[in-house]
Structure 1
Amino acid sequence: MKNNVNVDISSAESEFLEKLQKIVDETIKEEDLVINNLIHPAKDELTPVQKISDKVARFGGSWKFIIAFIIFMVFWVTINTAAVASKPFDPYPFILMNLVLSCIAALQAPIIMMSQNRQEEKDRMRSENDYLINLKAEMGIRSLQQKMDLLLGEQIKQLYDLQAIEIELLKQLHEKNKAKKGE
């Protein structure tokens, strides 16, 4: 009877190890896919026009631009108001300056929007990477949970088997005691 118990325990143990190995293999496969997507993201190659729009947007949204623009406007107004005696190229209502400002705004706005759209795409890619990292963590947790369930199930099965063996041994002892008393 002892040999049967050892054979049952070793086959159950190997079955348990096979299940555990299967969980580990599946987890590694799933994590490799996520890691591959994180390590090798899509390439972000910019065209020369896109690089220029990024530079314009960076400069257009800086204090350098604001200060340079204020200095330019003050210079423009000063030149055209100081040249009252001679003929100014843009007299008082500064219509030419308004035209130049409108043209700059009309060109600068779409360029900045193109740059913002590309930045939004980069942010979306970062969000996808965050999602993949969270997914990887979730898969790790799920794998751990499966391993714990397997271990608990195996422990319960072993306890049940040991209890069955103990009951069998108690029955044998009881039979021996009965036989001794009956003699």
Structure 2
Amino acid sequence: MSTDQPGRRLDTPRQRRGPSFNLDSDIVGVYSERVARFLGTGRYLAIQTVVVIVWIALNLFAVSLRWDPYPFILLNLAFSTQAAYAAPLILLAQNRQENRDRIALDEDRMRAAQTKADTEFLARELAAVRLAVGDTVSRDYLRKELDDLIDELSERLGGNRADAPDDDTDSGHRHRR
């Protein structure tokens, strides 16, 4: 350590002296998009056309107000300055829009993949339900089987009563087929 700066360590960076200029890139991007949108409107073109016509008219016809004579060098300088600022602003706005489009595309892809997975799951579930329904007994089939059982029971009961012995010890406990 030097004697000039007691307590200063070599492993820590120096503090910046002077004003720091911190600029939030999102704020710059938002304002640049606003300017770029305005530059692309018909309103801006109309305002610019009126300003140019007034500029040229005043410099041609108002002899006492000629601040920019005929080759209109100052007007060309203004247009060059405007173009120098407009082009980067438009590029910045396009880059931000490209980033938003990329994020939206990624979200759309994830949403499509989730929808596809949900659709495949529902298709599998529907197939399982169809298989389960195919194995179940239909109402008509069950009704026919029950009617057949009732007919068979009534035949047996009717036939057994004629042949049945008088004591009830054996009836209903043994069935022969």
TM-score, normalization by structure 2 = 0.56
TM-superposed CA distance for 1:158, in Å, is 8.5
Over the aligned positions, Cα root-mean-square deviation in angstroms equals 2.6
Once the two structures are TM-superposed, the CA of residue 95 in structure 1 deviates from its matched residue by: 1.2
Compute the displacement of 1:119 (Å): 1.3
Structure 1 residue aligned with 2:37? 58
State which structure, 1 or 2, has the greater radius of gyration over its C-alpha atoms.
2
Deviation at 1:145, TM superposition (A): 2.6
Aligned to 1:89: 67
Contact 2:58 2:65 in 1 (8 A): no
Q: Which consecutive aligned stretches of 4+ in structure 1 deviate over 6 angstroms post-superposition?
A: 155-159
Which structure is richer in relative contact order (CA contacts within 8 A, separation 6 or more)? 1
2:78 aligned to which of 79, 100, 105: 100
Tell me: CA distance 1:68–1:139, structure 2 relative to 1, closer, same or farther (3 Å): same
| Secondary structure in 1 matching 2:68 | coil
- Find out whether 1:74 has 2:53 as its counterpart: yes
Runs of at least 5 residues in structure 1 that lack an aligned partner in the other structure: 1-44, 160-183
Larger fraction in helix: 1
Unmatched runs of 5 consecutive residues or more in structure 2: 1-23, 138-177
Aligned to 1:174: none
* Counterpart pick for 1:125 among 103, 114, 120: 103
| Matching of residues 1-183 of structure 1 within 5 Å | 47-84=26-63, 86=64, 88-151=66-129
